[in-house]
Copies of this chain bind each other. A is one copy, B any other.
Amino acid sequence: MENREKPIGVFDSGVGGLTVFRELMNELPKERLIYFGDTARVPYGSKSKETVTKYSRQIVHFLEEQDVKAIVIACNTASAMALDEIEKEIDIPLIGVVRPGAMAAVNATKVGRIGVIGTEATISSEIYSNFIHSIKEDAKVIGKSCPLFVPLVEEGLWEDPVTEEIARRYLTELIDTGIDSLILGCTHYPLIKRTIGRVMGDEVTLVNPAYETARECRHLLEEKGLLNPNSVKLSENAYTFYVSDEADKFRHFANSILPLGILGAKKIDIERY
């Protein structure tokens, strides 16, 4: 197979990265995509940098074995903790979600005050904050963890008064700081973007790192001449899904997010890689 025709690998600690997968489908409709969700070892947020790097390296090895032309880390924790180290070890492009999200937020803010919401691990790691300061030293970054958002999303309460009430409790203190852009720093959050937007109001630009990452991925492939020139044949599967545990639960959630029916996900033993 020609390099340009090879698939793009995408991985996450679980199902959240499917929002990035969805954006890649939209942005790069001609590309083959392979998704790996580490459902046996989710969540990464509570694990050490060493552990997350080890897990990410195993997944990268697995995806290299699938002969991918680029890899997207669709996971905030792994992007923050493992990308720099693993990037040096491989020959294909590696794209994380943090950099594109941070860049877009810096471009969007007029007042220089940026909010970041995410899991406790993402917020306390200050990864977005550090990255933003590396490109805009004087930006003020205000982080807020929203632990109930992931379970509310996974319960399907995307448009629900309970989710809106919880969002109000979490976000009121952010509104009071006068931010004008807000990074959805967790891959689940784009699914409740409308609720978050209603609570934050029209003055605040919501930055979706999933979308920004898909755009960055397209630019990078373009630059390197790696865009697939031909559409995938209808007789072929353009999208393949792998998980490390519980393929059934994954399929159910995937089908609620993606605009196509997932026939199935293959379970693999990731610890072998």
Q: Which residues of A contact B (CB under 8 A)?
A: 39-42, 46-48, 51, 120, 147-148, 150-152, 154-155, 162, 165-166, 245-246, 249
Q: List 20 A-B contacts (CB under 8 A).
A: A39-B46, A40-B46, A40-B47, A40-B48, A40-B51, A42-B46, A46-B245, A46-B246, A47-B246, A48-B245, A120-B249, A147-B151, A147-B154, A147-B155, A148-B152, A148-B155, A150-B151, A151-B151, A162-B162, A162-B166
CA distance A39 to B43 in the complex (A): 10
A154 surroundings in chain B (CB, below 8 A): 147
| CB-defined contacts of A42 to chain B, threshold 8 Å | 46
Given contacts A40-B51, A42-B46, 11 further A-B contacts (CB under 8 A): A39-B46, A40-B46, A40-B47, A46-B245, A46-B249, A47-B245, A48-B245, A120-B249, A148-B151, A151-B151, A162-B165
Q: Is the CB of A51 within 8 A of B152?
A: no
Q: Please give the count of copies of this chain that the complex contains.
A: 2
Closest 7 CB pairs of A and B: A151-B151, A46-B246, A148-B151, A48-B245, A147-B155, A47-B245, A46-B245
Chain B residues with CB under 8 Å of A152's CB are: 148
Shortest CB–CB separation between residue A138 and chain B, in angstroms?
31
Complex: A256 Cα to B179 Cα, angstroms: 33
Q: Which residue of B lies closest to A163 (CB)?
A: B162
Contacts of A47 in B (CB 8 A): 40, 245-246
